[in-house]
Amino acid sequence: MRILRQHNSRPAEGTRDFAALRRQMVNTQLAARGIRDPDVLEAMSTVPREVFVPIDRIEFAYADSPLPIGQGQTISQPYIVALMTEALELSPDDRALEVGTGSGYAAAVLSRIAYEVYTVERHPRLARAAEAQFQRLGYDNIRVRVGDGTLGWAEYAPYDAIVVTAGGPGVPAPLQEQLAVGGRLVIPVGASPDMQQLVRVRRISREDYKQENLGGVRFVPLVGEAGWNP
């Protein structure tokens, strides 16, 4: 069993027992629905989702559903975050790239397993808010950038794992190019911005990739040069 990174979470707000709600989420929404990776379950049980949702939605922090976070974006339901994280097959030495920081919750989960996490968000307000929460929690292995995530973050490539938290018309070529040989890329892909298939791409060699279909999902559109037009 690998040892996950430690963190400092803020105290529970009011009288809500968020730790108990978190344990219940892991048991009923994740483990009971097939999430098996012990590191993913541990990360989901330690990252305080309540600090990544808007204050007026905090009572729904551990509901089995996505929540709006502003700028037309959402924080994905816990099960989807766990499913995509598990599909990445992370190891403690991995360098991971996330496209679409959003609230910052998924990057926080990744950071409890991977060695380094790089995350790109096109909305400056969301990026800055997420970065502030990472600093508050002491998650010092996450770097945030404002920009077009469909182009990746070439400066720190190659990545052992890349996850895209929005649905694109295809797998962006820049992300495939920034994937290390042996690396995994998980992304929702579909001909319509409203419905996608979750796919995992493995880089087999410098030129060869293998793609697997992991099932139907629904994400906000992936906007950018290698995604949907703004």
The residues annotated with a catalytic role in the active site are 76
Give the Cα separation of 24 and 31 in Å (integer): 10
Exposed, middle or buried: residue 33 (CB in 10 Å: 0-12, 13-18, 19+)? Answer: exposed
Q: Angle at CA 76, nearest 5°, toward 156 and 99?
A: 20
The phi and psi torsions of 100 (rounded to 5 degrees) equal 100, 75
CB atoms within 10 A of CB 215: 8
3-state SS, residue 128: helix
The phi and psi torsions of 134 (rounded to 5 degrees) equal -60, -45
